[in-house]
Amino acid sequence: MSTDFFILMKSELSLVLIIFLLLFIKVWDGIKSNTTLLHLTNVLLLLHFLFGFFINSQGELFNGMFYTNDATALEKNILNFGTLIISLQSFDWLKTHKHLLEFYILLLSALLGMFYMLSSGNFLLFYLGLELASIPLAALVNFDLEKRKSAEAAMKMILSSAFASGIMLFGISILYGTTGSLSFSELPKLITGETLQLFSLIFIFSGFAFKLSAAPFHFWTADVYEGAPVSVTSFLSVISKAAIVFVFISVLSPLFIVAQSVWYMILLLTIVLTISVGNLFAIRQNNIKRFLAFSSIAQVGYILLGLSSGNTAGSTASVYFLIVYIFSNLGAFGVISLVASQTEKENIEDYKGFYQTNPMLSWIIAISLFSLAGIPPTAGFFGKMFLVTAGAGKGNYLLIGFAALNMVISLYYYLKVVKTIFIDKNENPLPEIKGSLSLKLGLLLCVAGIILTGFISMLYQYINTIFTF
Amino acid sequence: MNEIGLTHILVISTLLFFIGVYGFLTRRNMIIMLMAIELILNSVNINFVAFNKYIYSGKLDGLFFTLFITAIAAAEAAVAIAIIINLYRNYKSIDINDADSMKY
């Protein structure tokens, strides 16, 4: 029992260890140099990421409250890797910041919450993980204490996420009343599909959609993404979204097994709304963070399209797409973070003539945007292709046609940004920007990921074997 | 119908839930919006306790859930109030209509 505890909970325990270590360094106040601290944290995160590949085993703890298997181990590794890249990319922003350690403590607490959420076998632990993942994030959004926008974004985030979890809890309480159980393994057998249960499931789905920022629950997304510091925005748009999608696959889809037609109808509406709202609003944005916020809403629509198939192909395609999405989005956000930390400029117009002064950074952001749009040599194309193929398994070709049409629209606004960077002339473009080695490493990892994940078919096959039970 | 049954309690908790939702959507003071969220969470607590007492009296899941919801609501309120205080320092107001620097 005792060794089981340490082996099954190893990712969580090692993360807690890092959090406490950073807390002690903060209290001890012995290391004055920010650069040393950043390198130390990055090394710790790298070790934590590598540790995720060893001594994996399957099993459950606390009467099924907490479980691990190959799928959760893979999902945790993906989240760890994304956090490591974000940490590398925030180097330039954090090296002069005086609250550096608080940033990492809050960030890693949120990651810990996501880990518990992924491994939860019961609605109670799931709720605790969800709150642990969202409360520190609200504090992180307010990290630029003296900026007006940051405060406003944090207020919008905490109020709407508390409201969303309230709605989800009401659904959970009714589900408990009608079935008498909170455990994910027992619930699918107890759900009979009566009206009150469907009602509660729709409440739970709304809570999920809020956290996923799927339309019509997306209103907080753009404001929070714009107001938060860039590193926090990239964490919100990539890691926290990926965690919710993983839970969506393992928890929410099995609950709806008895009510397939209702479930497909709900998903259909959400997909159509999400994709069109994301695309149409992305066209008219001037702020580049807001632009990426709406583009990420549209991407969630495609992920839901893959998940709507409800089979192994759908889950595999979603997880694969999320890996690609982490690389592409972080590539774009890495460059934006560097530019914002040195020039404080965030509007798309400021990027006019960016290619004249910073050709390397321009190429990185262009490759990332190509991958987000799904242009063939990049991995984004394969990710979208698998998602749409999985979605087509349901035989609803109208929906597939609609999604394909929207991909063309999305091409328009992604290429508009690329055109601004490469073709538009500007008398005084942004100055040449020099990033640190750590940031360059983060960007290199992203570009390598965008190009390579598309060609390594082993990855897709590995995910596929994990999700085939 | 002389004694108070499950239905009465469920009616109360549902009313409380929708009063909370209505308050969250209509009131413009951030502290009152926070209070509306607390109403929602308390209606959930009433639901759990009532289901546990009347239907599943042998189980403890609902009661435990209630304890955790109360604790987390307190943590959430602490962070939310800290954020609202910081917002007040920047905007000199806790009216949600004044915090409108980002739109569309």
Q: How confident is the model at residue A58 (pLDDT cuts 50, 70, 90)?
A: confident
What angle is formed at CA A143 by the lines to CA A140 and CA A144, rounded to 5 degrees? 155
Of A135, A158, A170, the CB nearest to B44: A170
Reply yes or no on whether the pLDDT at B5 is more than 90. no
Residue located via tokens 């009467």: A63
Please state the rounded mean pLDDT for residues A399-417: 90
- The predicted pLDDT at position A94 comes to 86
d(CA A405, CA A426) in angstroms, rounded, equals 33
What are the tens digits of pLDDT across the range A106-132? 999 999 999 999 999 889 999 999 999
Structure-token pair, residue A15: 């993360």
A367 Cα to chain B: minimum distance (Å) = 28
A150 Cα to chain B: minimum distance (Å) = 9
Tell which residue, A88, A180, A80, A93, has the closest CA to residue A144.
Answer: A93
What are the tens digits of pLDDT across the range A266-306? 889 999 999 999 999 988 888 888 899 999 999 999 999 88
- The predicted pLDDT at position A134 comes to 92
Structure-token pair, residue A38: 């950043």
A216 Cα to chain B: minimum distance (Å) = 14
Q: How confident is the model at residue A352 (pLDDT cuts 50, 70, 90)?
A: confident
> A280 in contact with B at a CB cutoff of 8 Å?
no
**Alpha-carbon separation of residue A273 from A31, A314, A385, B39 (angstroms):** 50, 20, 20, 30
> A142 in contact with B at a CB cutoff of 8 Å?
yes
Structure-token pair, residue A280: 């149409």
> B81 in contact with A at a CB cutoff of 8 Å?
no
Of B62, B80, B99, the CB nearest to A162: B80
Q: How confident is the model at residue A425 (pLDDT cuts 50, 70, 90)?
A: confident
β-strands A59-61, A66-68: how paired? antiparallel
Structure-token pair, residue A78: 């993906």
C-alpha torsion sign, points A202, A208, A214, A220: positive
User: CB distance B99–A155 less than 8 Å?
Assistant: yes
User: CB distance B69–A222 less than 8 Å?
Assistant: no
Predicted structure pTM score: 0.92
Q: Residue A153's closest chain B neighbor by CA?
A: B102
Please state the rounded mean pLDDT for residues A310-336: 89
- The predicted pLDDT at position B42 comes to 94
DSSP string, A12-58: HHHHHHHHHHHHHHHHH-----HHHHHHHHHHHHHHHHHHTTSS---
What are the tens digits of pLDDT across the range A9-42? 888 899 999 999 999 988 888 777 888 888 888 8
- The predicted pLDDT at position B40 comes to 94
- Cβ pairs bridging A and B (under 8 Å): 120
Reply yes or no on whether the pLDDT at B71 is more than 90. yes
- The predicted pLDDT at position B74 comes to 93
d(CA A309, CA A388) in angstroms, rounded, equals 10
Which residues does chain B have within 8 Å of residue A180's beta carbon, measured at their own beta carbons?
55-56, 59
What is the set of domains in chain B, with CATH numbers?
A: 6-91 (1.10.287.3510)
What are the tens digits of pLDDT across the range A69-104? 888 888 999 999 999 999 998 888 888 888 888 899
Q: How confident is the model at residue A224 (pLDDT cuts 50, 70, 90)?
A: very high
User: ω before A216 within 30° of 0 (cis)?
Assistant: yes
Q: CA torsion angle for A144, A148, A151, A156 (degrees, to 10)? A: -140
- The predicted pLDDT at position A1 comes to 58
Reply yes or no on whether the pLDDT at B72 is more than 90. yes
Q: How confident is the model at residue B48 (pLDDT cuts 50, 70, 90)?
A: very high
- The predicted pLDDT at position A349 comes to 84
Which contacts qualify for A251-255: CB closer than 8 Å, 24 or more apart?
A: A251/A120, A251/A126, A251/A184, A252/A204, A252/A205, A252/A208, A253/A307, A253/A310, A254/A184, A254/A187, A254/A188, A255/A187, A255/A188, A255/A191, A255/A201, A255/A204
- The predicted pLDDT at position A203 comes to 92
Which residues does chain B have within 8 Å of residue A153's beta carbon, measured at their own beta carbons?
102
* Number of alpha carbons in the 13 Å side-chain half-sphere of residue A307: 29
Of B17, B51, B80, the CB nearest to A158: B80
pLDDT, averaged across chain A: 88
Reply yes or no on whether the pLDDT at A195 is more than 90. no
